Amino acid sequence: MNRSVRSSRAAVTEAIERLGVVAVIRLKDATLLRAIVDALAIGGVQALEVTMTTPRAIELISDIAPTLPDGFLIGAGTVLDAATARQAIEAGAQFVVSPVLRPTIIDECHQHDVAMIPGCFSPTEILDAVDAGADIVKVFPATSLGPGFFKDLRGPFPDVKLMPTGGVTVENAGEWIRAGAAAVGIGSALLPADAIAARRFDKVTDSAKRIMATLKAARSALA
C-alpha cells in the first residue's frame, strides 16, 4: 500500500490508545521484520516500534513503511536525539519513542506533525513531559513500579496518557490498563527471541492474540 500521506500526530496518538499495545522489537536479523509484522497483524497487534539498536534500523523503517498492512503503525524507538528522530521520520516512522525526556526531540517531531512518546520515571518528569507537549508519556522502566504506581498517578494526572514499558507481559497487560494506562509497550514477552530465531512466527501470532484478548477483557471491566 502507498504510505505517501502521513497520518497526523493526533490521529496516530488516538490509534495507539485505541489499539492498546505497542510491540517493541530489537532484532539481530533485520530480514525477519516483514514476517514479524505479518504475524503481529494476524494476531491483532497493529503498532510496532523498531528500536534504533536494531541493525540498519532507519533503512529498515524506510523499506517496510510503504508496504504495511492497512491500519498498521510503524514507529522508531530508543531515539536519543533530534537528528535521529528526523531521520526516522524521513524514513516513514509514524511515531517516535525515547527512553528519556528530551524536549528537543519532542519539538523536532511536532515540526513534522509526528507523535512523540518520551520516557519518564518520576511524577516531576511526567509533568515536564506534558509541559513540553508529549503526546503519550512512556513510563520507563516500569518493571520496579508496578500497576499500583499508575493508580497513584491518576489522582494528580487524570488526563495524561501513560504507557508502561518494561515489566509488561502478556499475562499482566490487563492490570496496567485497569490501573489507568492508555496503552502498554511490550517487547520480549510478546516477541520471544527463541521463537523468532526458530522462525516460529505462529508463536508471535498466538501471543498477540492473547494480549489483545487480555486488553479487551480489561477494558470491558472498566466500561
Average pLDDT of the residues in 146-170 = 95
List C-alpha distances in Å: 199 to 12, 26, 48, 216. 30, 15, 18, 28
Average pLDDT of the residues in 129-138 = 98
**Domains, the chain, with CATH or none:** 9-217 (3.20.20.70)
Asked if the model's pLDDT at residue 4 lies above 50, the reply is no
Nearest-CA neighbor of 65 among 116, 137, 7, 136? 7
Catalytic residue among 49, 108, 161, 175: 49
Establish whether 125 is a catalytic residue.
no
Catalytic residue among 108, 138, 161, 175: 138
pLDDT at residue 2, as a whole number: 36
pLDDT at residue 222, as a whole number: 92
Establish whether 49 is a catalytic residue.
yes
- pTM score, two decimals? 0.95
- Cβ–Cβ under 8 Å, residues 98 and 119: yes
User: What b/e string do you get for 141-163 counting C-beta neighbours within 10 Å, with b at 16 or more?
Assistant: ebeebebebbeebeeebeebbbb
